[in-house]
Amino acid sequence: MSSQPPIQADGTLTFLPHRLNRHPVVVRGLTADELWICCGLSGVAGLAVGLPLAWLLSTLALVPTGIVAAIALGIFVGGGLLRRHKRGRPDTWLYRQLQWWLACRYPLLAGWVGGTALITHSGCWSVRREAQ
């Protein structure tokens, strides 16, 4: 019996579990990247709500308060929604979904996020076989 680990032709080891390459779950079913996306979008929404409120009520403290409140609500609500949508899908589903959405709606941005490699054609596909 040799002490060498089984190595495939491409140089990878066969005994390592595939879960080692996954991103760990950090908060409410979100990975670190998804958490940053959720926090960023929630922070921008909080800024958009906090600025008019601060101007209306003449209180500058409402801007950071609105941002913090929106981030907390965004993580709580967004984490639950993303966890529900991601259930049973591959690890890269969210990133491919975002690429597809940007490639369909904003084709100029598709090159920046790698959306040009996606198939965005919708229609009937055929295998061009004839019955015998």
pLDDT 10s digits, 56-77? 999 999 999 999 999 999 999 9
**100 compared with 128, residue with greater pLDDT:** 100
Residue-level pLDDT at 28: 81
Residue-level pLDDT at 27: 80
The Cα–Cα gap between 46 and 132 comes to 64
Residue 97 lies in a domain: yes
What sign has the CA pseudo-torsion 67, 71, 77, 82? positive
CA distances from 15 to 10, 19, 21, 90, 91 (A): 14, 12, 13, 21, 21
Residue-level pLDDT at 48: 95
Calculate mean pLDDT across residues 109-116: 76
Residue 44 lies in a domain: yes
For 67-86, b where at least 16 C-beta lie within 10 A, e where not — what string? beebbeebbeebbeebeeeb
Total domains, the chain: 1
Interval 1-10: pLDDT, tens: 556 666 666 6
Domain containing 61 equals: 28-113
Residue 7 lies in a domain: no
Residue 71 lies in a domain: yes
Residue 109 lies in a domain: yes
CA angle 12, 18, 20 (to 5 degrees): 95
Residue 125 lies in a domain: no
Interval 10-22: pLDDT, tens: 666 666 666 666 6
Residue 33 lies in a domain: yes
Per-chain mean pLDDT for the chain: 81
Residue 3 lies in a domain: no
